[in-house]
Structures are given as C-alpha cells and as structure tokens.
C-alpha cells in the first residue's frame, strides 16, 4: 500500500469555544477515493474547513500530516501551494470578476510563476475538453448567474486546472438534480489517478453510486466511528444513521457550529 498522503492523528478542533471535532483519525493514500458520511451536525464540514486552515477554527489537539509534513499550523494559502484543494459546498458568486482572470491568478499562485496568456488559455481549453465543458463557460464571470450545477462544475474545473494531490469535496452533491450530479461526478472520475487522493464529504449515497469510493467512513459526534468498503454506504442507506448511533452510543447530533 502507498504511503498515506493525508494522516489525521487524534484531531480535535473548536469554533468560538465550541468543540466540534473530538479525536478524528484517518489515513488516505494517494490514488484512493474516501467517502466521509454522517448526519447534519456530525462535524463533516468542520473537518473540511480545519483541513484547509480556516482561521476561525482552532485545532486544540492532534495534528494534520500532508505528504509527511505537519501542516497543522500552516495558513490556507500555504496548504494550497503544497497541493491541497477544497471544493466548497456553497461556492461564492463574485460579480465583475472574470473566471479566466480568477483561474489564471489561482494557477499562478499555486505554481509560483506567471503563465503567458496563450499558454494559460491552451491549458484551460484542454481541461474544458477533458471535462466535456463548452469553452464559452470560462468566459463568464465567477459564478455570476450560475445554476447550482454550474457552480459545482466550476469548482471541478478549478480542481482540474490546479492539479492538487489532495481534493476535499465538501457536499458537492448538495442542491444538485440527478443530471447535474451525474455530470459533476463524471468530471471528478475523469481526474482519478495515482497522483491524487479524494476525500468526498456527503450525507447521502447517491453521489457514491457514480464515484465508487475505495473506503467509506462514518462520522458521528465529531469523530469517525466506523470505516469499511463501499458496502458500508449501502448499509447506511438501508438502515439509516440511527442504527449506527445505537451501536456506538452516540446522541442525536446538534446543529453544527459554523465559523462567521
């Protein structure tokens, strides 16, 4: 087995004094897709924000190792340059900012170099083709007037362009209809390979029908209580989270605290 690209060791984290993560342990090797499932309030989105270094979240114990390096105290931009990427659950609309300009600035920051316009456009066109997206898509303003599915496809385009080694997808299936979910999932599948690991955070099994994870983790009460193969998602679909709560003695979740 490959050496894990991401290791979480007894990770605890809080926001505004409220502890959300209560000892998360996880190992994700490159080339694998891991699904993190759990009900609302279990700590899934908090974990995504903590992994990317959101300043409002405080790590109170444990550590985050990425490619063998302790990144627990690193700023978000440093983590991005190292090869970490977060696709947001609710991408922000930025009127007046062109997607091409945003993508170019993001890529230049990731690579620490200034790509020439023609070189950059050739690269973008190649990624659009890979994802089956029209070239006109990149000429629009950043998420301005986008449907939910278009916003999520834009996140996937950024992922394809930046070529991270770890991609965290925070409820990418949220708000998508069946057709949009299939298109987004197919785009993600086109990027799977030995050089990238995926952590897919979701409530439901439906996105996993398309992504086919290698490992499924169940999170309750701010910690991972059970891990297994893809069949674990099917078990959840059939029995629900209450069966897991009864097994592990976890209370029903409270509303998950979010950073301002």
Contact of 65 with 6, CB cutoff 8 Å: yes
Task: Answer whether residue 137 is part of any domain.
Answer: no
Structural domain count, the chain: 1
Task: Answer whether residue 35 is part of any domain.
Answer: yes
**Which residues form the domain of 29?**
6-93+163-248
Largest CA distance in the chain: 58
Instruction: Kindly report the pTM of this predicted structure.
Output: 0.88
Task: Answer whether residue 10 is part of any domain.
Answer: yes
Per-residue pLDDT at 122: 92
Task: Answer whether residue 187 is part of any domain.
Answer: yes
Contact of 180 with 213, CB cutoff 8 Å: no
Annotate 94-158 with DSSP letters as a single string: -TT-BHHHHHHHHHHHHHTS---HHHHHHHHHHHHHHTT--GGGGGSBTTTT--HHHHHHHHHHH
Task: Answer whether residue 143 is part of any domain.
Answer: no
Q: Which two tokens stand for residue 192?
A: 């799977």
- The secondary element (H helix, E strand) that includes residue 243 is helix 241-248
Q: Rounded to an integer, what distance in angstroms lies between the CA atom of residue 64 and that of residue 8?
A: 5
For residue 228, what is the domain's CATH number?
Answer: 3.40.50.300
Q: Rounded to an integer, what distance in angstroms lies between the CA atom of residue 242 and that of residue 229?
A: 20
The tens-digit pLDDT sequence of the chain (260 residues) is 579 999 999 999 999 999 999 999 999 999 999 999 998 889 999 999 999 999 999 999 999 999 999 999 999 999 999 999 998 877 888 888 888 888 998 898 888 778 888 899 999 999 888 888 888 888 888 888 888 888 888 888 899 899 999 999 998 887 778 887 888 888 888 889 999 999 999 887 888 888 889 999 999 999 999 999 999 988 888 888 888 888 876 654 444 545 55
Task: Answer whether residue 110 is part of any domain.
Answer: no
Q: What angle in degrees, to the nearest 10, is found between the helix axes of 148-162 and 117-130? A: 120
Task: Answer whether residue 79 is part of any domain.
Answer: yes
Task: Answer whether residue 153 is part of any domain.
Answer: no
């Amino acid at each position: 087995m490959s050496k894990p690209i991401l290791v979480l060791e007894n990770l605890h984290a809080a926001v505004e004094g409220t502890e959300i993560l209560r000892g998360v342990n996880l190992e994700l090797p490159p080339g694998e897709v891991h699904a993190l499932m759990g009900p609302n309030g279990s700590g899934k989105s908090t974990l995504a924000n903590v992994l990317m270094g959101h300043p409002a979240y405080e790590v109170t114990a444990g550590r985050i190792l990425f490619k063998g390096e302790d990144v627990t105290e690193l700023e978000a931009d440093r983590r991005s340059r190292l090869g970490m990427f977060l696709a947001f659950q609710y991408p922000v609309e930025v009127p007046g900012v062109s997607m091409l300009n945003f993508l170019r600035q993001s890529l230049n920051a990731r690579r620490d170099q200034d790509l020439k316009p023609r070189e950059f456009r050739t690269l973008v066109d190649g990624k659009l083709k890979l994802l089956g997206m029209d070239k006109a898509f990149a000429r629009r303003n950043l998420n301005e007037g986008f449907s939910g599915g278009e916003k999520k496809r834009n996140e996937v385009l950024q992922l394809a362009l930046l070529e991270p080694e770890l991609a965290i997808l925070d409820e990418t299936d949220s708000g998508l209809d069946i057709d949009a979910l299939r298109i987004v999932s197919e785009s993600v599948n086109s990027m799977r390979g030995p050089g990238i690991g995926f952590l897919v955070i979701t409530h439901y099994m439906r996105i996993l029908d398309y992504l086919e994870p290698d490992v499924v983790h169940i999170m309750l009460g701010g910690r991972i209580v059970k891990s297994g193969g893809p069949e674990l998602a099917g078990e959840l679909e059939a029995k629900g989270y209450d069966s897991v709560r009864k097994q592990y003695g976890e209370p029903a979740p409270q509303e998950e605290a979010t950073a301002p």
